[in-house]
Amino acid sequence: MPNAYPTKPFKIMKLKHSTQRFALKIMKWSFFHLCIAVIFANVSLALDLSAQEVLDQRISVRAVDQKINTVLAYIEKNSEVKFSYSPNLIQASRKVTLNATNEKLSAVLDRLLVPHNLSYEAVGKRIILKRVLPGTKDKAIAPIKQQTQTIKLPVDRGITGRVTDDQGEALPGVNILLKTTQRGTTTDQNGAYSLSIPDGNESTLVFSFVGYEPREVEVGNQSTLDISLSPDQKSLNEVVVVGYGTQKKSDLTGSVVRANIEAFRESPNVNLAQSLQGTVPGLNIGQTSSAGQNPSISIRGRTTINGNQNVLLVVDGIIFTGSMSDLNPADIASVDVLKDPSSMAIFGAQAANGVILITTKGGKQQASKPVFNYSGSYTTQTPSNTLHLFDREGFIKKSADIDWEKAFVAPDYTQPKPGFTYLDVVNDPPLRTGFENGTDYDWWGNTTNPGFITAHNLSVSGSSNETSYFISGGYTDQKGFIMNDKFKRVTTRINLENKIFKWFTLGAQTFGSFSDYSGVSPALSGITIMPPLVSPTDENGEFILNPTGANISNPFLVSAADDFDKRNNIFGNFYANIELPFVKGLTYRVNYGHNYAWDRHYSSNQYANAAAGEAYKINSNAYDWTLDNILTYKKAFGEDHRLDVTLVAGRRERMYETTNATGTNFNNLRLIYNDLSLGTIQRVTSGAWNESYLYQTGRINYEFKYRYLLTATLRRDGFSGFADNSKTALFPSIGFGWVVSEEEFLKNSSAITHLKLRGSYGSNGNLVSRYSSLARLNIYPAYVFGDGGSTEFGQVVTTLANPNLSWETTTGFNFGLDFSFLKNRLTGSLDYYRTTTNDLIFDVSIPEVTGFNQITSNVGNIANRGIELMLNGKVLDKGDFKWNANFNLAANRNRVVSLLGLDNDKDGEEDDLVGSGLFIGQPIGAIYDYESGGIIQIGEEAPKGFFVGTHRIIDQNNDDFIDANDRVIRGRTEPAYNFGFLNEFTYRDFTFRFFINSIQGGKNSYLGQNMPNGLGIGDNIRRNNFWRELDYWTPANPGARYRGLDQGAATEYNYYGNRSFVRLQDVTLAYNLNATLINRLGMKGVKVFVSGKNLATLTKWVGWDPETGSGLTTNGRPVMKGVSVGLDVRF
Amino acid sequence: MKHLKNIVLPILVLLFVAVGCDEKEILKEVPLDFASPENSFVTVNDFNSAVYTLYDLTRQTLSDGEHRPLDYMYGTDLGYNGAQQLNLRFGSYPATLTPSSDPARYHWQQYYKIISSANIILNRMTKSKLNAAQQKTIEAKAKLFRGLAYRNLAHLYGGVPIELEEVSSPKTDYVRAPREKVYQQAAADLEFAAANLPAVTKVKDGEVTNLAAQHLLAETYVALKRFPDAIKAASAVIADPATALMQNRFGSRASEPGDVYWDLFRRFNQNRSAGNTEGIWVFQYEVDVPGGVIRSSSKEGPQLERDCAPRPYSFPYKDPKGITPFLSLGVSDYTGGRGIGRFRGTDHYTYGIWGYDWKDMRNSEFNFVRDVAFNNPKSVWYGQKLSDHMAMFRQRTDDTIRNFYPYQSKVTTPGQHPAELFVDPVLKTLNASATGTTYTDQYLIRLAETYLLRAEAYLGAGDAAKAAADINIVRARAKAKPVTPAQVTIDFILDERMRELGVEEKRRLTLNRLGLLYERTLKYCNGHPTAAKYGVDVAPHNNLFPIPFSEIERNTGAVLEQNPGYSSK
């Protein structure tokens, strides 16, 4: 077959091009190798700065009447130290004046602190500030042990103890104050303290530390008191990841939410996304129903119809195209979600559907010894809901129901006809035999079994002064409820960061994920329809190919495959961070990220291909790389102005290729898939694609007087998938914030701790799928002339080109309110947004007279609006007992505003695109279908094309004719609102949590088609089994939901069920072992827990699960319920 | 701020230059695994490839699969749906054939895909490197397929939109041309094809020829009532020295008991290379060869065996020893292979038409199977005939509607199923999941039909004698009693087509063309006696298919009128 189109003229050009690329590649790889070399060379060179060296470093400071914490922050930024202090203790807001030029840090600190009755101590690079207590004369640099010995107060009795974080790590520098007195101390390097307190049982100690929630503990008569402090998750100083940088939550102008993944650490979530389910308003995570499955993810409403709908995943700053299931949830430090146009703007068009920023764990910033962490759990897996297939007895009864005219007595057919037997209506000999032999085979029971999940994770993290590391390994083994539904995953991660010079940091975030999905489940669509009157095997235990005698294969045959399905992914982001000399605050960072995924799916099955045998190997791999150049500039001008500029120039490329080699008609398959040449018929197919991205972004954050915030972003995006003249586009956005609580009139309010108004406005593009603008020609084996002739290839144009295909643009605003009342007892935020998407990328249906059925075009616009609420309350805080509650609520509405802009029917209103299922003023998920006027009963006259037992279709337009013009909008598939409710109770070392998740549809929303895929008629429905829960019509059941099963009508009526549900999604009880005991064991922390997943669901949905929308279909799967026990040890 | 400008800007400029200098090149999109139409219509090979797709599309539409050849047969005077399905396969017309139904849409879409692909060839040809001779041949081929598509559209739907250009932008304002205009368009295309396609001796087996074009043209002229033109076109086919009705035994199984009519439908006997001079256009099928459609491991290709052959393996009756006398799987013998007994011939087809001459060769025991032998060697009745136990095997309705009834053996290949399909090669039991195809090439046009077509033209022209003569040529080959000119009516011709062609004919096209679908179906097709209490419920408006509702919906720029009876208007 000669070549279909000339390639010669292009060859020379191509060569040139590839040489260039090759050279570029070499350069890239050498750089990459250099990075690695440098990292490893420097691990050994790392120096440990002593405390004295820290205090001896020289520094210049000039401050006139500035807050003391501002001065300290300045020193931190310009030297190698970190301060630890409690702002209350040092009265951080009092103003100081200081002038020092190139002086020793110790001298500077002496001058700064001593006048204010403060002392300090250096621990490594950390300097702990303390109040000098009355009656003590401690020298600034005195070791803390001496200091505590020198306390000379009226001593009644002593108390000692140790303060750790929730992971069991010592917390140095924690302030401890005897309540209502000035008496207190701080913890030493090991987190230990000792303090004298008055006799009696009334004493209460207050433990406080920056970034942690303060705790008050009654001493009672104890002499040892070990406590742990938990990080203050809701702290307003929380730093969130915003894309190419981080930002303090209090400085945000857009809608960015950090997910509370800590609350779900003990849940049996194989996939990280499951830990996000229901916790972030506006983030919608679907349910999973098979092992290793990725749930669906979407953010806010749907802004596109045929454009890209995927949420952008960014792992450690690099866009991640792998599967979410490749990430080990145990490795994840934080997850931030970007929701509004202005915060997504930095990622441009790829972020059109929202962004999830995932940050993996690293070593601690400060020097610390290695900490090992092991966690393991075992989880049971049983269905959260049960459906039942008819057993023998039910099946026979159902057969009589279908042939009711034969099985019941006229005229009302409710009394069984005497002498009727199943043999009167059954035709298939195997069913007759089964009936006569008393066969009652449980197809579902033999396909399913309770499953389990086991998970083991081991990690070590730590850091010296220059190098920090986090290394982990994880193993997950999941066996689902359905036979052969298996998933195994091994993950490894190495995150390293090395400070080579004071201004130069190199690092790598790498992971490998190796998943095994091997094993084929029986064909559920066959299992559920096989009648209980036949068995899968004969008397010799051999499979029967067609148990009912019909051409439906034995559903167990597919599961007899030798199946090998391994999916691997390796990811590496190599970065360099350079604090550019000459200009303070100017940093250059380069990210060079790679993701390589390769899947091998091999399978062989002697029963495949009508038992002729088939074996295949599919090899596919995907590779993408990202090169980002990021320049940031942070600077404060005077006390009032702060500027934070980020500029990014980057490029990304994705490539994919796949090869499928199949052999069929094997003599034998002893070599399974390893020698495909033994197949008499061999077929090879392959495919490949690539796509390129090129982008430049700039973002400016400006803050004035802590009160007025501005974020402006401009992004220029380029994507290969658009038509030639629309490859690039420009998208601007802007955001404002007003911290009202910083204004004079609120500054001293005791009720309002923090109040901020934010507003953002911006526009963003969306991508189209690659090659959409091009016409396609399909070349395929078309014809063979003559007996024994050879294959002639045909060519056919399959899609129309659209030379104008361009960006779809979403523009909108987001208004938000962040608040914190009553000293952070009630915090939360409220967001309202509205977006409009213009030039929708949409596959417009066109008349098939053209030879095509659609063309991808830019048409019309849709609008989304929604509201999101988050509330965190510290409901109770009574000593040992604490109750925190967290509530979130989200609602979104979308609406088609305009389509083609045509009014062909001249009714003065724009026409709907009925043929494409789109209606002006209706949501995208509008359900346009017929309505039922009830089922036609015996004795009633059936219209032409309809029969007794089928639904009567309502003639909506009253033209005495039932046709497609009688369809109406029956509701929509989108939910009305959803909410999540998390409660956490802590009592001493016990934590109890439960989480309720709910999606609600109200009256006409969140509908799903709730019936089998085709109710069936004729031979098949008589032969097939189905779910007992299917409420079908019989003369004795006139009010049924579904029609009778013997005949279908000209127009099928579809039933839509309400998917609303309330689910008890997670319940956890965790116990942290007593610190003293753990110390004795040489451990840093031990936690044991039990948890439950999906323990209860309230819904009216009939079927497997409302959230998956799996109803009474033949191939549905249940959502799993699990109870797990687990252990988490740090040492 | 000065610093910022002095340092940052140069760095940035450098960066952006480094990354973005060859932006056009970086964002250029070159498809890797599919070709682009822009550079794929250049050489004669390119155009031949495009023509091969036309062959494939035409075969798909008229012959491939479970529904496609059978959409043209169910619910006609030929047969009905025996599976008690009222809203499928024309079990009941109002329940099956609505503007939203699949048959209405499928055929429309397929024929327009053929038309559009032909239009692309015709449009691109002018800018190609083809020489004049090549252009003429390619044009003739493209026009043959386009003419066939318009002809069939006009048969099925009546008037339809005519599009003769390559569509390169979304067009949504189509209106229906009158049926006659569509036939005229078909005739114009076929005239060109008939004048410029190669002769039958100059082509590979299965390729289209001037004779195929002449036959189609003849039928189109008949539809236009241009009878003299039709006679001329049909005569061109008949008079061609390379064509003749097969009169003697031939081909792969000529030595076995049978007759020449039987030989016409055995495996490997349809093409000229097998000595067959009767096939004018034969759809090519090969087993397990890419492009050959049929596979030994799945049901693909013409499913006449599956639908039209009975399923005696479903009889529940047992011999005196309690053994079922038919094997429990379909068997590659005269019991019908792996039939499922869904297409039950009407009594007119199975009995009525043979009353004229029961000894007609086409009604021989080889060709119209009316009795079979039990095939289970374990049964004491093994080798005995079904007719020996007739009373037992006709107790229930389905026994004679599905389990066994007279059928044409041309739907199956007794003893010749592909070897891979045998579960037991000795018993010749067949795999239930994959068998059901008719494993032979399929005639789209056979010379015998050309005679019957010319007879129709003569009848239309008022020459009953010549009509009778043509019919008698066909009957003579079948050694059947001749017909007199006085007996020749359109109904006789339609009955003769049934006798000669049976399920080989795309019956609906013929009946719709003549406007006789309603009349003949009402008269001869009762439907399944327990399900279709009122017959298949055919109505006069069913003489045409409805225009697909989806097409009316998509054609937003103009109104595509619906055929009468399918909407309230």
| pLDDT tens per residue, range A553-565 | 999 999 999 999 9
Interface of A with B in 1015-1054 (CB under 8 A): 1017-1019, 1046-1051
d(CA B340, CA A610): 17
Report chain B residues whose CB lies below 8 A from the CB of A579.
none
Cα A1112 versus chain centre, distance: 28
Q: Is A638 exposed, middle or buried (0-12, 13-18, 19+ CB in 10 A)?
A: exposed
% of chain A at pLDDT higher than 90:
57
Question: Touching check for A609 and chain B: CB below 8 Å?
Answer: yes
Q: Which residue of B has its CA nearest to A13?
A: B25
Question: What is residue A130's predicted lDDT score, i.e. its pLDDT?
Answer: 74
Report chain B residues whose CB lies below 8 A from the CB of A550.
432
Cα A106 versus chain centre, distance: 48
List the Cα angle A98/A100/A103 in 5-degree steps. 140
Question: Touching check for B98 and chain A: CB below 8 Å?
Answer: yes
Positive/negative CA dihedral, A660, A665, A669, A671: negative
Q: Which residue of B has its CA nearest to A423?
A: B316
* Distance of residue A796 Cα from the nearest chain B Cα, in angstroms: 6
Q: Is B32 exposed, middle or buried (0-12, 13-18, 19+ CB in 10 A)?
A: middle
Question: Touching check for A5 and chain B: CB below 8 Å?
Answer: yes
Question: What is residue A909's predicted lDDT score, i.e. its pLDDT?
Answer: 86
Question: What is residue A824's predicted lDDT score, i.e. its pLDDT?
Answer: 82
Question: Touching check for A666 and chain B: CB below 8 Å?
Answer: no
Contact A781 B171 (CB under 8 A): no
CB pairs A-B closer than 8 Å: 373
Question: What is residue B9's predicted lDDT score, i.e. its pLDDT?
Answer: 52
Task: State the best of B52, B60, B422 to mutate against chain A, taking most chain A CBs within 10 Å.
Answer: B52
Find, among A350, A311, A303, A318, the residue nearest to A241 by Cα: A318
The structure tokens listed for A451 are 């499953």
Contact A683 B290 (CB under 8 A): yes
Question: What is residue B23's predicted lDDT score, i.e. its pLDDT?
Answer: 85
With 90 as the cut, is the pLDDT of residue A1024 above it? yes
Highest mean pLDDT among A282-291, A854-863, A1122-1131, B456-465: B456-465
Task: State the best of B12, B57, B86 to mutate against chain A, taking most chain A CBs within 10 Å.
Answer: B86
Contact B87 A432 (CB under 8 A): no
Report chain A residues whose CB lies below 8 A from the CB of B316.
423, 427, 429, 432
Question: What is residue A51's predicted lDDT score, i.e. its pLDDT?
Answer: 64
Average pLDDT, chain A: 86
Contact B291 A793 (CB under 8 A): yes
Highest mean pLDDT among A67-81, A325-339, B146-160, B554-568: B146-160
* Residue A13 three-state SS: helix
Helix ranges, A958-1108 (H): 1018-1023, 1075-1080
Positive/negative CA dihedral, B48, B49, B50, B55: positive
* Distance of residue B431 Cα from the nearest chain A Cα, in angstroms: 7
Interface of B with A in 521-550 (CB under 8 A): 531, 537, 548-550
- Using an 8 Å Cβ cutoff, are B560 and B553 in contact? no
Report chain A residues whose CB lies below 8 A from the CB of B432.
545-546, 549-551
The structure tokens listed for B289 are 């060869």
Q: Considering CB atoms only, which of B40, B117, B433 is closest to A551?
A: B433
Contacts of B168 (CB under 8 A, 6+ apart): A800, A801
What are the phi and psi torsion angles at A661 (to 5°)? -115, 125
Q: Is B404 exposed, middle or buried (0-12, 13-18, 19+ CB in 10 A)?
A: buried
Tens-digit pLDDT profile for residues A99-117: 777 778 887 888 788 777 7
Find, among B65, B160, B143, the residue nearest to B104 by Cα: B160
Report chain B residues whose CB lies below 8 A from the CB of A914.
553
d(CA B289, CA B279): 22
Question: What is residue A148's predicted lDDT score, i.e. its pLDDT?
Answer: 39
Find, among B69, B61, B57, B51, the residue nearest to B203 by Cα: B51
With 90 as the cut, is the pLDDT of residue A791 above it? yes
Question: Touching check for B8 and chain A: CB below 8 Å?
Answer: yes
d(CA B313, CA A490): 53
- Measured between alpha carbons, how far is residue A1083 from residues A30, A228, A330 in Å? 43, 14, 20
Question: What is residue A178's predicted lDDT score, i.e. its pLDDT?
Answer: 83
State mean pLDDT over A139-161: 51
d(CA A191, CA A482): 50
Question: Touching check for A795 and chain B: CB below 8 Å?
Answer: yes
- Measured between alpha carbons, how far is residue A803 from residues A775, A800, A842, B35, B528 in Å? 9, 10, 15, 17, 54
In tens digits, what is the pLDDT along chain B, a chain of 569 residues? 444 445 545 555 555 555 555 788 899 998 999 988 888 999 999 999 999 999 999 999 999 988 888 999 999 999 999 998 899 999 999 999 999 999 999 999 999 999 999 999 999 998 898 999 999 999 999 999 999 999 999 999 999 999 999 998 889 999 999 999 999 999 999 999 999 999 999 999 999 999 999 999 999 999 999 999 999 999 999 999 999 999 999 999 999 999 999 999 999 999 999 999 999 999 999 999 999 999 988 889 999 999 999 999 999 999 999 999 999 999 999 999 999 999 999 999 999 999 999 999 999 999 999 999 999 999 999 999 999 999 999 999 899 999 999 999 999 999 999 998 999 999 999 999 899 999 999 999 999 999 999 999 999 999 999 999 999 999 999 999 999 999 999 999 999 999 999 999 999 999 999 999 999 999 999 898 887 676 789 999 999 999 999 999 999 899 999 999 999 87
Find, among A102, A153, A154, A110, the residue nearest to A129 by Cα: A110
Report chain A residues whose CB lies below 8 A from the CB of B167.
800, 850-852
Question: What is residue A750's predicted lDDT score, i.e. its pLDDT?
Answer: 80
**Residue B399 carries which DSSP code?**
I
Question: First vs last Cα of chain A: how many Å apart?
Answer: 68
Question: What is residue A197's predicted lDDT score, i.e. its pLDDT?
Answer: 81
Question: What is residue A5's predicted lDDT score, i.e. its pLDDT?
Answer: 39
Question: What is residue A364's predicted lDDT score, i.e. its pLDDT?
Answer: 67
pLDDT confidence band for A96 (50 / 70 / 90): confident
Question: Touching check for A4 and chain B: CB below 8 Å?
Answer: yes
pLDDT confidence band for A247 (50 / 70 / 90): confident
- Using an 8 Å Cβ cutoff, are A138 and A132 in contact? yes
Q: Considering CB atoms only, which of B20, B116, B553 is closest to A851?
A: B116
Q: Which residues pair with A513 in a beta bridge?
A: A491, A569
The 3-state secondary structure of A414-428, one letter per residue: CCECCCCCHHHCCCC
Q: Which residue of A has its CA nearest to B11?
A: A631
- Using an 8 Å Cβ cutoff, are B296 and B418 in contact? yes
Least confident of A367-381, A647-661, B159-173, B504-518: A367-381
With 50 as the cut, is the pLDDT of residue A429 above it? yes
With 60 as the cut, is the pLDDT of residue A946 above it? yes
Beta strands in A555-678 (DSSP E): 562-579, 586-605, 614-637, 641-666
State mean pLDDT over A118-128: 75
pLDDT confidence band for A210 (50 / 70 / 90): low
Task: State the best of A652, A797, A859, A948 to mutate against chain B, taking most chain B CBs within 10 Å.
Answer: A797
Q: Is B252 exposed, middle or buried (0-12, 13-18, 19+ CB in 10 A)?
A: middle
Question: Touching check for A708 and chain B: CB below 8 Å?
Answer: no
The structure tokens listed for A574 are 């190599």
* Distance of residue B351 Cα from the nearest chain A Cα, in angstroms: 26
Contact A1048 B297 (CB under 8 A): no
With 70 as the cut, is the pLDDT of residue A89 above it? no
Question: Touching check for B398 and chain A: CB below 8 Å?
Answer: yes
Contact A692 B421 (CB under 8 A): no
